[in-house]
Amino acid sequence: MSTFQAPKGTYDLLPPDSAKFLAVREAIAAPLRNSGYGYIETPGFENVELFSRGVGESTDIVSKEMYSFETRGGDKLALRPEGTASVLRAALEANLHKLGNLPVKLWYSGSYYRYERPQKGRYRHFSQVGAEAIGAEDPALDAELIILADQAYRTLGLRNFRILLNSLGDKECRPVYREALQGFLRDLDLDEETRRRAEINPLRVLDDKRADVQKQLVGAPVLRDFLCDACKAYHEEVRALITAAGVVFEDDEKLVRGLDYYTRTTFEFVHDGLGSQSAVGGGGRYDGLSEMIGGPALPSVGWALGVDRTVLALEAEGVELEVPATTSVFAVPLGEEARRILFGVVTELRKAGIATDFAFGGRGLKGAMKSANRSGARYTIVAGERDLAEGVVQFKDMESGEQTALPLEGIVEAVRSRLG
């Protein structure tokens, strides 16, 4: 055992479990790639102001959970707690919005960091796949992203998830609601920290998970009643489009999400099999974020889906992913001459695109075959001095146990034909 361990609240991804995470990432990314989204990768840390402006200083993410530090050169940086602000910053810096092809559609995958209280499904280091559509105000774009996330989850085999949907209004109607909500909150018995939050962004109080706070929120003004006609029409079109696509959702008038930049459409994917950490992903429209971080007006929408939470949701439903074997063929040499020749065969099989491994370390046949079994190999190639003298190798089907002598010459084509 090492002297060092992974930091508290983090985890290492190791085989064979890591194959599940890769399969989940691929399943989420596949419908995005098929819908015009290009891959983007951003640094693991950014200027701390990017998140305090964009995510919001009143959020727990910025005020309590963000890993921030000062470099030797005096720069104030933060490990990224979420992906949207970084992706938008990168798109603006590269002037992607000026290329005349809006919306700019991007997807990403990576690790994010928050100083959480560690528990199952809630870590200080977690993995997400996200998508952003930058530069267009169109209900069809909001609907597209919700439909693609739904498609990704159903492709994985998830069934017991729910989609919660709400509208947060825009800069025209939300201020009116904000004032009404603040008036309501001032009459409640709230602690000093919650009162401070109510003055900065009262919608954050609606997201408070404490039972004593939620009890007092009964009868609070509902944002739906304050939406302007434009926001009502926009929301109804989003609802109609996803309904027409066969996507089932639930209206949730208290859904505000944990980030300050959302406007109009907001949504969340929840799975009731995960207990208190039921959210597996979510997102929404953020029409003002570009201006918050110094860019032009660029209405945008996006989401992020948690890879960790999705894996837990699959386990809760008992869904076993079909993870492809990492090794198709395992080569076992018996003797030095066989070791030299079979290593050359392994190299040629790999060049031909066949996943192949080799019994390293000079182990005997019994130990090498155990390694072949553990690798999940479909076939093994075994050769000793007598086999090589006859110009053949022993080709064994690991499922049926059938073993056949195949000519060493042309072995690559022979293996390829058996693998189909």
The tens digit of pLDDT for each residue in 261-290 reads 788 999 999 998 887 778 999 999 999 899
The reply to whether 282 falls in a domain is yes
Q: Is 59 annotated as a binding residue?
A: no
Higher pLDDT, 232 or 118: 232
Predicted pLDDT of residue 188 = 87
Which is it for strands 68-70 and 161-167: parallel, antiparallel or unpaired?
unpaired
Rounding to the nearest 10 degrees, give the CA dihedral for residues 30, 32, 33, 35.
130
- 60 pLDDT more than 70: no
Domain end residue (candidates: 276, 296, 317): 317
The tens digit of pLDDT for each residue in 171-207 reads 888 888 888 988 998 988 888 888 888 887 788 788 7
- 2 pLDDT more than 90: no
Residues 131, 30: one domain? yes
- 242 pLDDT more than 80: yes
The reply to whether 388 falls in a domain is yes
Residues 406, 263: one domain? no
Q: Per the structure block, which two tokens stand in for 113? A: 């960091």
The reply to whether 214 falls in a domain is no
- 117 pLDDT more than 90: no
Residues 27, 141: one domain? yes
- 300 pLDDT more than 90: yes
Q: Report the number of distinct structural domains present in the chain.
A: 2
Predicted pLDDT of residue 260 = 67
HSE of 403, CA atoms in CB hemisphere, 13 A: 8
The tens digit of pLDDT for each residue in 72-115 reads 999 999 999 999 999 999 999 999 999 988 999 999 999 999 99
Which is it for strands 403-407 and 392-397: parallel, antiparallel or unpaired?
antiparallel
The tens digit of pLDDT for each residue in 363-396 reads 889 998 999 888 889 999 999 999 999 999 999 9
CA atoms of 255 and 92, how far apart (whole Å): 29
Predicted pLDDT of residue 55 = 75
Q: Is 132 annotated as a binding residue?
A: yes
HSE of 414, CA atoms in CB hemisphere, 13 A: 17
CATH code for position 366: 3.40.50.800
With contact defined as beta carbons under 8 Å apart, do 236 and 142 qualify?
A: no
With contact defined as beta carbons under 8 Å apart, do 214 and 208 qualify?
A: yes
Residues 39, 132: one domain? yes
Going across the sheet that includes 76-79, the strands are 45-47, 76-79, 68-70
Average pLDDT of every residue of the chain:
91
Predicted pLDDT of residue 259 = 65
Domain end residue (candidates: 285, 317, 349): 317
Which is it for strands 104-113 and 38-39: parallel, antiparallel or unpaired?
parallel
The reply to whether 190 falls in a domain is no
With contact defined as beta carbons under 8 Å apart, do 177 and 169 qualify?
A: yes
Domain end residue (candidates: 284, 317, 350): 317
Predicted pLDDT of residue 325 = 73
Q: Is 263 annotated as a binding residue?
A: no
The tens digit of pLDDT for each residue in 316-339 reads 999 998 877 789 999 999 999 999
Residues 401, 311: one domain? no
Q: Is 261 annotated as a binding residue?
A: yes
Task: Name the region of 135 (left: φ>0; alpha: ψ -120 to 50; beta: rest).
Answer: left
Residues 29, 157: one domain? yes
Residues 71, 26: one domain? yes
Hey, how many other C-beta atoms are within 10 angstroms of the C-beta on 98?
12
- 412 pLDDT more than 80: yes
> Which range of residues forms the domain containing residue 114?
17-173+227-317
Cis peptide preceding 333, ω within 30 of 0:
no
CA angle at 72 for the pair 69 and 78, rounded to the nearest 5°? 20
Residues 374, 251: one domain? no
Q: Global pTM?
A: 0.88
The reply to whether 342 falls in a domain is yes
Residues 286, 344: one domain? no
Predicted pLDDT of residue 354 = 93
Q: Nearest CA to 48 among 105, 113, 119, 101?
A: 113
Q: Is 243 annotated as a binding residue?
A: no
- Residues 304-318 as b/e (b if ≥16 CB within 10 A, e otherwise) read bbbbbbbbbbbeebe
In this structure, which amino acid lies at residue 151? Q
Q: Is 83 annotated as a binding residue?
A: yes
The reply to whether 159 falls in a domain is yes
What average pLDDT does this structure show over 231-249? 97
Residues 262, 391: one domain? no
Contacts of 396 (CB under 8 A, 6+ apart): 379, 380, 381, 382, 402, 403, 404
The reply to whether 202 falls in a domain is no
Q: Is 112 annotated as a binding residue?
A: no
Rounding to the nearest 10 degrees, give the CA dihedral for residues 370, 371, 373, 377.
-150
With contact defined as beta carbons under 8 Å apart, do 204 and 233 qualify?
A: no
Q: Is 114 annotated as a binding residue?
A: yes
CATH code for position 255: 3.30.930.10
The reply to whether 2 falls in a domain is no
Residues 303, 364: one domain? no
Residues 346, 275: one domain? no
CA angle at 51 for the pair 162 and 295, rounded to the nearest 5°? 100
